[in-house]
Structure 1
């Protein structure tokens, strides 16, 4: 019987250690469930702050560039519409004047040529008529012409 008592004492002891282990395990799981994990984000935050400061400086630089470009554009001289109309009208009038003068010059050359032909025919007819009325003058003219 002593062995049975010894075995039961060992079993009781094992059960108690098992019970203690289960209790400890339940406490540890409760601690794990209740324990909140905190992540150290200070490095990430510092990287984001640095990136944000770079973005801000880039934005300010771009805004300054845009401002200077706008100032340059505002200082440029823009040709008003009335000036464009004025110069185009002047150009068209000059072209028309040159065209009309050229046309009149060509017309004058034609008129001059026709008048020359008409005058030559009149002189020729007048001289022939003179020679018909004065045959002696015709003979003298022919002698004069042959002598040269």
Structure 2
């Protein structure tokens, strides 16, 4: 029986401690129910405002850059590589032909002079051969020439 008394005594002590714990919990619950928490979000608001301002600025910068890109794209014209190469090749050929033409045109007076000299030599040679072949014509020519020189 002594053991039962001891166990009963231990159980009563445990029940009293449990009742004390429950009463403390009830007091704590009542205190917490009446306690009003006022959250202070000023630091978070400051950080969020800063981040928002930074994001707005970044978006504005991106809009400006995108506007510039769109402007230059609308202003630009694209040509295929083969068309550009063909155009450059034709331009080189045109300049070569023009240069050769200018060179030839600038030599026209020289060519005329040479042609005139050759024509004169052929004409004189032809007349000499004619006059050597027919001495009568040569005499008539000399007579015709003398009165002309006197005037």
TM-score (ref. length: structure 2): 0.53
Aligned partner of 1:61 in structure 2 is 60
- Paired with 2:144 and 2:56, the residues of 1 have a C-alpha distance of 114
Alignment of 1:1-148 (within 5 A): 42-75=41-74, 76-106=76-106, 109-127=109-127, 130=131, 133=135, 134-147=138-151
Q: Which moved more, 1:54-63 or 1:131-140?
A: 131-140
Q: CA RMSD in A?
A: 3.2
SS of 2:78's equivalent in the other structure is coil
Can you give the 5+ residue segments of structure 2 that lack an aligned partner in the other structure? 1-39
| Distance of aligned partners of 1:108 and 1:74 in 2 relative to their CA distance in 1, 3 Å threshold | closer
Q: CA deviation at 1:106?
A: 4.9
How many residues align? The count is: 108
Aligned partner of 1:36 in structure 2 is none
Aligned partner of 2:22 in structure 1 is none
SS of 1:79's equivalent in the other structure is coil
- Paired with 2:66 and 2:103, the residues of 1 have a C-alpha distance of 57
SS of 1:65's equivalent in the other structure is helix
- Paired with 1:136 and 1:69, the residues of 2 have a C-alpha distance of 94
| Distance of aligned partners of 1:63 and 1:125 in 2 relative to their CA distance in 1, 3 Å threshold | closer
Can you give the 5+ residue segments of structure 1 that lack an aligned partner in the other structure? 1-40
